[in-house]
Structure 1
Amino acid sequence: MDELSYASCPECGEHAVAVPPRNWIAPGEVPGWTHASDGTALCPVVAAEGYRPAEPVTHLNGPGVVLVIRGREATR
């Protein structure tokens, strides 16, 4: 992401960073995003396989741009 974009947790709205959680102990793949303030995984959401951390929402800001993209960073 660049200076015109940022990511947040879609559940609580807190700023998110692309860093694995500090104390992840659940089996399976380690999430790639955490809450910036405390390093915990993004808020849980229900999926077909059970609870999992939410995917971040990427916000792009710029002149005349109001765009939110779920799950993946946008390319320009």
Structure 2
Amino acid sequence: MRTISQRELRNDNAEIMRAVEQGETFTVTRRGVPIARVTPVPAESDLRCVRPAQPERRITDRQRVVPSVPTAELLDDLRGDR
């Protein structure tokens, strides 16, 4: 079991989570006082994912917007105001 500071947990979060996935346990301290323990979830745990995270909609699923006026015409109109 490794001891890390709260700052280390914040700054090296991804690295620490990878180590936890590999089975390592960490004790988190604040000003040298232990405040938490980060451990892997055992396989036989009753924790489960109720609803996995999913993107709201994929960009490719969105309907394409087709303007009623060609883009070139809109640009010519805007450039004429210079």
TM-score in terms of structure 2 length? 0.21
**More strand per residue:** 1
**More helix per residue:** 2
CA radius of gyration, larger in? 2
TM-score in terms of structure 1 length? 0.22
